[in-house]
Chains A and B, each alone.
Chain A
């Protein structure tokens, strides 16, 4: 009965939402003093398990014991009382309340969290700010500080590093290690296998709602993890897709016509004069650390905000967009990182795919001609799992992102603007998305791709620009875009790389 000494033991946990089985039968054991990774492709059931363990949703079946005793956990308060602290994928801070008021509703005060904020280099933060005004990354760290202040036996972190920059993530790893040294445990969920291997001791791997492996991570290769997560057959496909980064040569590219040109775009103090040219059939990468003006630049490109100054040219003609409608009608299609921004969560996949088509419906009531068909083709091409059919909100994150791209495929576009489209998405879906982007470029459309995943830039891009403090500070051909080179430039350190 060694299980009795386990900090947390979940057995045969199951959960279904209507026809969709989120968890078939999952086991998870976390020992005291370890950092345990929970891995799996999107839709494998990781988040569902975390939510069940923190009593946000009830399980259909299964038992949960803490310190060998069966725990009666029915609401979030019970989980906290049982020593389980969670940082959820979505921040649990109330946007309309100040940070301090947010602490107060958790029965904490300033002094409880300040030491932890200090450890994350956030001691200067003004707790009087409204949570809604604070950047997402800071909210995640605040959530972490709030969880730590309750001194939990088990700290569960669901995709906390997804929204964080490298150095912020380092603070989190440091705190995780410290937690382990105190004899407490951490359950860590991340898509970034590199950081998982570095930080974690053991891992439980879920696939399709079942635990498929419990591993000791010492000496394990990344590829072994991928295999475990995806299953043998799929891995081969993914690898095949990754092997041929069909990157075009620089000279060949510049000979092609420019489809999108930015001339000295400025927006208040956030974008400080960005100029760039995007060629037909090109995938132009853009990367930056968080908050360097990339969000605002994409808002300008998608027609959501008007620049303070500067010009935007599409196919050589000036575009002065008053709303996304103007941009879309000139063939600029935008795929945001936050899928919720783009989708109607309660409508079906097909309806969501057809939204941009509504603009074109010539009659008020029905879609014209072949458009139904185009929606069907898009579904097929994207291999979207439509079993959950009725509502897009029931789909996994990766499938939702496919829908946001798919609707542009259905309606047609010239230039695709992708803002971190693979944030928080599993490898398999990522590969499908990159595949899709290459295919799109192959047909003559252009893609501007902002991504925070530096390692993936050489795989998909032809060329990459680096943004810092609202300006383009560097340009590299894809072949030279190693993680180190990109990071150096992204920190604004590499003056030689500046244009």
Chain B
């Protein structure tokens, strides 16, 4: 018995590459896929330079932030259909309040919006906890609520943003240009920070714990209800960050943007990023390339001469393939153990 246990434990530690592959293989694979797609794209178009990179990174930023927010919520065992609505709401609020303001004020407004979004989504989670109605139902409600609120705040596309605020997200005061670095730095800092927090701190790990096994988490002394509120608050803040990026790109707010589509994109991105929809498994680091890839599908298909309407078909096929591959990996792993 001890012999056999020792054997399992030792044999596993003898193959560190296998463990690495198991823990980080998916993340690595998605990053490679992004690079391969970019390289392929580069061969399709006449010129590939800073402008093209900036165009992908800057315009992909909102989806990346939105997907990271969704990932945090899903890892903790929930799912938030309202993130798309939150994006629209924060985007129009920012555009409305920031118009004509200096950078400092714009930044204060941004911080205020992030905090408010976190608070509002915390209330959504609290309602889920108290009512015991499934997440998917309550957040479907919050999606419509946010979208409606956004329309009330800004009935027509309008508003504006401070030019340096736009530079923060797009590397250009006009929202357009050949400088991808601010967006890259912004994504790297926020996502690495949240990734570190999730994987290394007690509170962060509690999200994984509750998403993985609620009973065991409870027995370990964790408060599942509080963890859900925490995950929704952080996820809501990331959705609001995505909204700020959207305002920075467009230079205005538009409440007619369909939040539901954005939500579905965020779910597709986390699936591609290897986050298990059942909770407890996944890395926000893998969600970055996944979000960029999903944004990137439309340009790449256009460059391939495929009708961009079929981008949705490709996206669907991609998601089914990803689910099939994860299913097979899981099945093989089960057989091996």
A/B contact in complex, CB under 8 angstroms: yes
Chain A residues with a Cβ under 8 A of chain B: 56, 75-77, 80, 86, 88, 90-97, 101-102, 104-107, 121-122, 124-126, 128-129, 133-135, 137-138, 165, 167-168, 289-292, 305
Which among B10, B221, B335 has the greatest number of chain A C-beta atoms within 10 A? B221
A143 to chain B, nearest CB (A): 9
In the complex, the answer to whether A56 meets B209 with C-beta atoms within 8 Å is: no
Contact, CB under 8 Å: B216 / A137: no
Report yes or no: A94 in contact with B1, Cβ–Cβ below 8 A: no
B223 touching A75 by the CB < 8 A rule? yes
In the complex, whether B8 has a CB less than 8 A from a CB of chain A is yes
Name the contact of B1 in the complex, choosing from A75, A101, A104, A167 (C-beta under 8 A).
Answer: A167
Stretch at the interface among B60-68, B116-124, B200-208, B301-309: B200-208
- The residue of chain B having its C-beta at the shortest distance from the C-beta of A91 within the complex is B216
**Contacting pair B281 A94 (CB below 8 A):** no
Q: Is B2 an interface residue (CB 8 A)?
A: yes
Closest to A101 in B: B205
Tell me whether A125 and B9 are in contact in the complex, defined as CB-CB below 8 angstroms, given that A137-B1, A291-B1 are known contacts: yes
Please indicate the chain A residues that have their CB under 8 angstroms from the CB of B205 in the complex.
Answer: 97, 101, 104-105
Is B178's CB within 8 Å of the partner chain A?
A: no
CA distance in complex: A137, B217 (Å) = 19
Within the complex, what minimum Cβ distance (angstroms) separates B327 from chain A? 16
Contacts of A102 in B (CB 8 A): 209, 220
Known: A121-B2, A124-B6. A94 touches B219 (CB 8 A): no
A76–B223 CA distance with the chains assembled, in angstroms:
9
Minimal beta-carbon separation of A404 from chain B (angstroms) = 21
Distance in angstroms between the alpha carbons of A59 and B2 in the assembled complex: 39
Q: A94-B208, A96-B280, A96-B281 are in contact. Are A106 and B220 (CB under 8 A)?
A: yes
> With A101-B205, A105-B205, A105-B206 as given contacts, are A96 and B13 in contact (CB-CB < 8 Å)?
no
Closest to A79 in B: B221
Extra inter-chain contacts (10) besides given A105-B206, A134-B9, A291-B8, CB under 8 Å? A75-B221, A77-B223, A90-B219, A94-B209, A94-B212, A95-B212, A135-B8, A137-B1, A168-B2, A292-B4
Q: In the complex, which residues of chain B have a beta carbon less than 8 angstroms from the beta carbon of A137? A: 1, 5
Query: Whole-angstrom distance from the CB of A56 to the nearest CB of chain B?
Result: 6
Residues of B within 8 A of A124 (CB): 6, 9-10
**CB–CB A133/B337 < 8 A:** yes
- State A96–B19 Cα separation when bound (angstroms): 13
Give the number of residues in B that approach A within 8 Å (Cβ atoms): 35
B280 to chain A, nearest CB (A): 4
Residues on B with beta carbons closer than 8 Å to the beta carbon of A305? 335
Contact between A101 and B6, CB atoms less than 8 A apart: no
Looking across the interface, which residue of chain B has its beta carbon closest to that of A126? B13
Complex CA–CA separation, A101 to B221 (angstroms): 14
Interface of B with A (CB < 8 Å)?
Answer: 1-2, 4-6, 8-10, 12-13, 19, 199-202, 205-206, 208-209, 211-213, 215-223, 280-281, 335, 337
Q: Chain A CB within 10 Å — which of B1, B211, B223 has the most?
A: B1
Chain B residues closer than 8 Å to A88, beta-carbon distance: 219
A residues less than 8 Å from B8 (CB atoms): 135, 291
**CB-CB < 8 A to B208: which residues of A?**
94, 96-97, 101
Say yes or no: A129 contacts B12, CB within 8 Å. yes
A133 & B219 in contact (Cβ 8 Å cutoff): no
> Which residues of chain A are within 8 angstroms of B281 by Cβ–Cβ distance?
96
Q: How far, in angstroms, from A138 to B9 measured CA to CA in the complex? A: 10
Report Cα–Cα, A93/B205, bound state, in Å. 12
Q: How far is the CA of A292 from the CA of B212 in the complex (A)?
A: 29
Which residue of the partner chain B has the closest CB to A98?
A: B23
Q: In the complex, what residue of chain B is closest to A88 when comparing beta carbons? A: B219
**CA–CA, A133 and B280, complex, Å:** 15
CA A96 to CA B282, docked complex, whole Å: 10
Chain A's closest residue to B212 (CB) is A96
Residue numbers in A under 8 Å from B201 (CB-CB):
104
Partner of A94, one of B202, B213, B221, B223: B213
Q: What is the CB-to-nearest-CB distance from A120 to chain B, in angstroms, rounded to a whole number?
A: 9
- A205 to B155 CA separation, bound complex (whole angstroms): 71
**Once bound together, how far apart are the Cα atoms of A167 and B199, in whole Å?**
36
Which A residues lie within 8 Å of B217 (CB)? 94, 105
A472 to chain B, nearest CB (A): 17
Q: In this complex, what residue of B is CB-closest to A270?
A: B4
* Other-chain residue from B199, B219, B337 in contact with A76 (beta carbon distance below 8 A): B219
Neighbouring A residues of B219 by C-beta, 8 Å: 56, 76, 86, 88, 90, 92
Is the pair A105, B209 in contact by a Cβ cutoff of 8 Å? yes
- Contact status B1-A289, CB under 8 Å: yes
The answer to whether A92 touches B2 (Cβ under 8 A) is no
Residue among A97, A122, A305 with the highest chain B CB neighbour number at 10 A = A97
A291 to B5, Cβ gap below 8 A?
yes
Q: For B10, what are the chain A residues with a Cβ–Cβ distance below 8 Å? A: 124
Bound-state CA distance A106–B220 (Å) is 6
Q: How far is the CB of A254 from chain B (nearest CB, A)?
A: 32
5 shortest A-B CB distances, which residue pairs?
A291-B4, A92-B219, A96-B212, A165-B1, A96-B280
Q: Is the CB of A97 within 8 A of B218?
A: no
- Roughly how many angstroms separate A129 CA and B200 CA in the complex, as a whole number? 15
Complex interface: chain A residues within 8 A of B200 (CB): 104
Q: Within the complex, what minimum Cβ distance (angstroms) separates A106 from chain B? A: 6
Beta-carbon contact of B213 and A95 below 8 Å: yes
The smallest beta-carbon distance between B60 and chain A, in angstroms, is 28
Closest to B214 in A: A94
**Distance A121 CA – B1 CA, assembled complex (angstroms):** 12
Within the complex, what minimum Cβ distance (angstroms) separates B329 from chain A?
14
- In the complex where A94-B212, A96-B212, A96-B280 touch, is A76 in contact with B220 (Cβ < 8 A)? yes
Distance of A96 Cα from B207 Cα, bound (Å): 11
Bound together, the chains give a CA A138 to CA B335 distance in angstroms of 20
Bound form: Cα–Cα A93–B218 in Å: 10
Complex CA gap A136/B281 in Å reads 21
